Amino acid sequence: MDHTLKYLQESLSNYTDNALSESIYQKLRNNSYENEEEFVEDLNDKEMQYLDQILEREINYAENVQDDVRVAQLREVYEIIF
């Protein structure tokens, strides 16, 4: 799995109490996506909208703790989705 998607999977693991988040998390765990584009193509509209919210929150958190690598990785997914 792509490193960027591993960062996303780790972030989503904090939200698995939500059914939509759990669904996206399971997609990442159960599929061998070669890159972010392949993953994004597998998402439906609701999943993309949900990821919009989560990624904004996670990117802001990473910026606050000055985790530049995480910020860059999560932004990469965010930019592909939107």
Taking only the tens place, the pLDDT of each residue in 58-69 is 999 999 999 999
pLDDT at 11 > cutoff 80? yes
Taking only the tens place, the pLDDT of each residue in 30-45 is 999 988 899 999 999 9
pLDDT at 1 > cutoff 70? no
CB distance 60 to 29 below 8 Å: no
55/25 Cα distance (integer angstroms): 13
Tokens of 57: 């929150």
User: For the chain, which residues make up each domain, given as ranges?
Assistant: 3-81
Report which secondary-structure segment, H or E, holds 11: helix 3-12
76/71 Cα distance (integer angstroms): 9
Average pLDDT along the chain? 91
59/38 Cα distance (integer angstroms): 21
* pLDDT (mean) for 21-31: 93
pTM: 0.84
Task: Give which of 26, 18, 4 is closest to 53, Cα–Cα.
Answer: 18
pLDDT at 78 > cutoff 70? yes
In which residue are the tokens 């999977």 written?
Answer: 9
pLDDT of residue 82: 76
